[in-house]
């Protein structure tokens, strides 16, 4: 059963205690608040499924003004109003003002459960639909933090405005960006993506906005930019902090006016939804004048922060098992279950490279393991096990094997885009091709 969370706001402490105990016994997760400030803080911090609100909340507001605020700031949150008076006009007013339902004090518990169940049915269907869609994208993890991210992704997908995804390297920013796109109105189309770190500074404008033929020496043929490609679609701008300042000014125009101007061309309208990502602190960069403040505030209309894996260790067992199954299926071998002690060991690691590092560790363990299941030994890094492994006796062999694994990894990250991988590895494309052939790396057929 999916857990439904309730925020219960009432200044009657005895009522709070009794009702929350009763609801918890019936499987609901409940937070209580007895004043306006606490209510507002809890609403900001958590994503509740239902709010139960007293009609006569004291101090600055009455329950109705708080209801208005909730409707405005959390339009999807169903509110069940609690009436102390049983006064019918108040109940009618509550419904008119956007409450989903109301219930009278003293509360008839059977009645309350029925009312909540009615609201619950709608929520469960919505939650199940979301998790089914996210599972189809391959996003795993059931921690409370991830649940909130799923909710944020679904909200972001519904609105046509810029989304900024932040988080440490390997935390899952690109996956989240793809999820926002997939669930959005453009979801049927392929996501157009661009890695801002892989474009040389002088080519940015031409790459983003395109150019007309003859607009500069060498512009023999007209060229369409990423924005034109992504018209009526989403554009994923990865590593957005790498955008040169001059280009930032031009991007601001696209975001605010929905207009682009090709080099040597006319202004034209585009409808592109920008999803950007960064592992940098953009706000700090704005203070250092390395990123435009006005652009930052546009791009982060909706911000989704993906916390590092060490802050959601509950997800590690699920993720590890998912990566093991996925890797074994992809390589046509039977699954190699991970022993409970290895799972505990995985949960204790720091994972500075986050989910990507965990994924690589699991895949490497499957490759190196000689048994039908994975134990802790299979997860120790090659540098440790290599010392005792005769196959990797010589330093040259160890370096070659590391080089191959590293290049394969970079290629995979850039979806086998040789230009971007070469840029990341800081080598030319032709040298990368030589390495690929010398190290016998297989490229996927397209
Ligand atoms: N919640 C998740 N469920 C399943 N796989 C995940 C999850 N999060 C991340 N991954 C996987 O981990 C790897 C890294 O994720 P991703 O590329 O989205 O990270 P990132 O934050 O964009 O990293 P970087 O900052 O280095 O670009 C990918 O293979 C991705 O599929
Ligand atoms: Mg990324």
- Rounded CA-CA distance 371/352 in Å is 28
Mean pLDDT of 105-123: 84
Mean pLDDT of 270-280: 96
Residue 130 has pLDDT above 70, yes or no: no
CATH domain 310-438 topology: Helicase, Ruva Protein; domain 3 (1.10.8)
Q: Directed axis angle between helix 109-137 and helix 173-183, to 10°? A: 110
- Binding site membership of 172 for ligand 1 (Cβ less than 6 Å): yes
DSSP string, 192-251: EEEEGGGS-GGGHHHHHHEE-TTSSTT--S-EE-HHHHTTTEEEEEETGGGS-HHHHHHH
**Positive or negative CA dihedral for 291, 294, 298, 302?**
positive
Q: What is the pLDDT of residue 383?
A: 47
Q: What are the tokens at 100?
A: 């989903």
Give me the CATH code for the 5-127 domain, please: 3.40.50.2300
Residue 2 has pLDDT above 60, yes or no: no
Confidence of residue 128 (pLDDT cuts 50, 70, 90): low
- Binding site membership of 307 for ligand 1 (Cβ less than 6 Å): no
Distance in Å, CA 171 to ligand 1 centroid? 5
The pTM (predicted TM-score) of the whole model is 0.64
What architecture does CATH give domain 144-307?
A: 3-Layer(aba) Sandwich (3.40)
Atom of ligand 1 nearest to the CA of 171: 21
- Binding site membership of 312 for ligand 1 (Cβ less than 6 Å): no
Mean pLDDT of 302-316: 95
H/E stretch holding 128: helix 109-137
Highest mean pLDDT among 87-91, 127-131, 358-362: 358-362
Atom of ligand 1 nearest to the CA of 355: 12
**Ligand of minimum distance to the alpha carbon of 167:** 1
Distance in Å, CA 286 to ligand 1 centroid? 26
Q: What is the pLDDT of residue 293?
A: 96
Q: What is the pLDDT of residue 368?
A: 84
21-80 confidence digits (pLDDT tens): 999 988 889 999 998 889 999 998 888 889 999 887 764 456 778 888 898 888 888 999
Asked if domains 144-307 and 310-438 share a fold, the reply is no
277-302 confidence digits (pLDDT tens): 999 999 999 999 999 999 999 999 99
Measuring from atom 12 of ligand 1, which residue has the nearest CA? 356
63-85 confidence digits (pLDDT tens): 778 888 898 888 888 999 988 76
Domain regions of the chain by residue span: 5-127, 144-307, 310-438
What three-state secondary structure class fits 303? strand
Measuring from atom 15 of ligand 1, which residue has the nearest CA? 172
- Binding site membership of 124 for ligand 1 (Cβ less than 6 Å): no
């Amino acid at each position: 059963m999916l857990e439904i969370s309730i925020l219960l706001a009432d200044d009657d402490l005895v009522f709070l205690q009794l009702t929350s105990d009763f609801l918890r016994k019936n499987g609901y997760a409940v937070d209580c608040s007895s004043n306006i400030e606490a209510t507002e803080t809890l609403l900001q911090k958590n994503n509740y499924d239902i709010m139960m609100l007293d009609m006569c909340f004291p101090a600055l507001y009455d329950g109705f003004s708080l209801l208005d605020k909730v409707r405005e700031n959390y339009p999807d949150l169903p509110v069940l109003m609690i009436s102390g008076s049983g006064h019918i006009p108040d109940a009618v007013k509550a419904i008119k003002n956007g409450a989903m339902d109301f219930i009278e004090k003293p509360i008839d518990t059977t009645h309350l459960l029925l009312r909540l169940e009615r609201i619950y049915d709608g929520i469960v269907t919505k939650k199940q639909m979301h998790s089914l869609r996210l599972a189809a994208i391959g996003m795993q993890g059931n921690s409370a933090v991830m649940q909130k991210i799923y909710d944020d992704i679904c909200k972001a997908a519904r609105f046509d405005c810029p989304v900024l995804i932040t988080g440490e390297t390997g935390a899952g920013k690109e996956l989240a960006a793809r999820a926002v796109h997939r669930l959005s109105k453009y979801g049927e189309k392929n996501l157009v993506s661009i890695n801002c770190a892989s474009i040389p500074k002088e080519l940015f404008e031409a790459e983003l906005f395109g150019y007309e033929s003859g607009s500069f020496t060498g512009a023999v043929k007209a060229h369409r930019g990423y924005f034109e490609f992504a018209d009526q679609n989403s554009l994923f701008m990865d590593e957005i902090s790498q955008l040169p300042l001059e280009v930032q000014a031009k991007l601001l125009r696209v975001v605010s006016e929905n207009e682009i101007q090709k080099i040597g061309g006319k202004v034209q309208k585009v409808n592109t939804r920008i999803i950007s990502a960064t592992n940098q602190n953009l706000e700090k960069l704005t203070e250092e004048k390395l990123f435009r403040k006005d652009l930052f505030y546009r791009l982060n209309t909706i911000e989704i922060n993906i916390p590092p894996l060490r802050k959601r260790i509950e997800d590690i067992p699920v993720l590890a098992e998912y990566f093991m199954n996925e890797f074994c299926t992809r390589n046509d071998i039977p699954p190699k279950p991970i022993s409970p002690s290895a799972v505990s060991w995985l949960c204790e690691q720091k994972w500075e490279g986050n989910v990507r590092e965990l994924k690589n560790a699991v895949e490497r363990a499957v490759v190196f393991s000689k048994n039908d299941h994975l134990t802790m030994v299979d997860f120790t890094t090659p540098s440790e096990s290599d010392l005792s492994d005769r196959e990797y006796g010589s330093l040259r062999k160890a370096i070659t094997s590391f080089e191959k694994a590293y290049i394969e990894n970079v290629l995979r990250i850039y979806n086998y885009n040789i230009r971007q991988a070469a840029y990341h590895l800081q080598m030319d494309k032709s040298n990368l091709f030589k390495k690929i052939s010398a190290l016998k790396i297989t490229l996927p057929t397209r």
